[in-house]
Amino acid sequence: MLYRELLLSNVFCSQCRGAVEIVEYSGAMVKGDLILKGKCGTCGRNVARLVEGS
Ligand SMILES: [Zn+2]
């Protein structure tokens, strides 16, 4: 659970040029991997993150 929270606060935003927190996200499973789509908590730009299934 802690690891999951770490992922959610470490999403790369191309506009902020760094790791940001993802907000208003939703997840989708694609071929065993979880893809999180949401918005940058800093600038509001759409961001996405792939969370690899193990
Ligand atoms: Zn941003």
pTM: 0.76
| Mean pLDDT score of the chain | 88
Rounded-to-integer distance, Cα 3 and Cα 15, Å: 25
Q: How far is the CA of 17 from the centre of ligand 1 (A)?
A: 7
List of residues 6+ apart from 25 with CB closer than 8 A: 8, 36, 37, 38, 39
Beta bridge mates, 27: 36
- Averaged pLDDT, 19-48: 93
State residue 16's pLDDT score. 96
Q: How far is the CA of 15 from the centre of ligand 1 (A)?
A: 5
State residue 8's pLDDT score. 75
Confidence tier at 10 by pLDDT (50, 70, 90):
confident
Nearest to 8 by CA among 43, 18, 42, 20: 20
List of residues 6+ apart from 11 with CB closer than 8 A: 19, 20, 21, 22, 36, 38, 40, 47, 48, 49
Q: How far is the CA of 37 from the centre of ligand 1 (A)?
A: 13
